[in-house]
Amino acid sequence: MTLIPTRRRPGPGALTVLAVADSVERVRLSVAMLDRLSWPGTTVGLVVVRTGSTPSPARIREETEGTGQAGLRVPVLTTRQTRRLVRRRRPDAVLLNCSGPLVESLSWSMRSVFRRYRPVVASALPALSVPAVEGEWLHRSRVDLVVAHSHREVAEYRALGEKLGTRGEVGLSSLPLGAREAEQGTGRNRVVYAAHPGTPDTEQGRRHLLLALTELAEKRPDLEVVVHLGREKNASPELMATWHGLLAEGKVGDRAPNFRSGPLADQLNRARGLAAAGSTAVLEALTHRVPALVLTEFGVGPRQGNAVFEDSGLFGTLADVRAARFRRPNRDWGERNHFHPPAHEDWVERLYDLHARALRGELS
């Protein structure tokens, strides 16, 4: 049977935590959470559940570089193998950072099948989880600790949990968005558009977007205009197909946007501003102290999927892109939405408290 790949931290006491992920994003989140569990005596491990979105071994290694899981083999298991692994290794806590249905399936097993052994079960919400969604809570109805990533998420999910009658606690953590960098006075001559698959969702919308970026590149030769396609080169095929169509029509000249793939952070080191139709790319830019713009033309305004950015002061249009006009968020919005001080985070303390309760037999 495959063993949990673990790295034991020195110190008295023993707490063993297993994280279970099922996608690239959730692997990234899991290793960040495991690194926060740095109390003496803690042993941590990571496994990936095999699903339709299972990352390759190379991507898993990429996401663990620079973390406490670097260099350790991360097994990819079926759900049945994952249950057997938990039964055999008996971790004190299990972090189920998976899709909602998989969290529901595994959390039911953790609490119902292992009659004498009862781990603490925690699960992190997806990124940008506002407004609170009833389905996300119901999938986690048998989880002891739901981990949210902003004060607003904590407040909304606690209120929804009380309404639904769920028993789980809600704790606060942070999204792994990279280290905050000091703003530089010179050299910031790059404008980045962070593409999101399927957005814009029409040919006309994609043409308007690409022509606006091309106009900026033509009018501002002092700026490097970059379209970031995602980690993989083929992450935005519709956008690239539209671009090749514009090229064939002669709609763009020599000065045109550069198309790049790979980590977004690589494009932020000299960025003057970032535009996107929402998504965590905006949060990552703000983390690197890069002004941002949340576009509203493509059906993803404050009432169509970008509720998290309400009152941020970041909403704008392609006219702002053409003018290279980007914005910094309102401070009050930032502290309520993902940019809280690290001292506000309490999910680790709550996890340890729940473990103490489990040892006393107080968890149902």
pLDDT at 111: 65
CB 2: neighbour CB atoms within 10 A? 15
Q: What angle do CA 196, 201, 206 make, to 5 degrees?
A: 80
Q: What pTM does this model have? A: 0.89
pLDDT at 137: 95
For 43-75, write each residue's pLDDT tens digit. Answer: 999 999 999 889 999 999 999 998 989 899 999
Mean pLDDT over the full length of the chain: 89
Distance CA 304, CA 87 (A): 43
Candidates 186, 179, 180, 195; CA nearest to 270 is: 186
Domains and CATH numbers, the chain: 6-175+341-359 (3.40.50.11930), 190-336 (3.40.50.2000)
Give me Rg for the CA atoms of the chain. 22
Q: What is the dihedral of CA 173, 177, 179, 183, to 10 degrees?
A: -120
Q: Which helix (H) or strand (E) holds 192?
A: strand 190-194
70-107 pLDDT, tens digit per residue, is: 899 999 999 999 999 998 999 999 999 999 999 999 99
All residue ranges of the chain with pLDDT < 50 are 1-13, 182-183, 303-304
- CA 11 centroid distance within chain: 31
Phi, psi of 328 (to 5 degrees): -105, 145
What's residue 179's pLDDT?
57
Q: Which are the contacts of 228, defined by CB distance < 8 A and separation ≥ 6?
A: 192, 193, 194, 195, 260, 261, 264, 267, 281
User: What is the crossing angle of helices 100-112 and 79-89, to 10°?
Assistant: 40
Query: Can you give the pLDDT at residue 16?
Result: 94
Helix (H) or strand (E) holding 215: helix 203-219
Which pLDDT score, from 0 to 100, does residue 108 have? 86
* Residue 337 DSSP symbol: T
**For position 249, what pLDDT does the model report?**
93
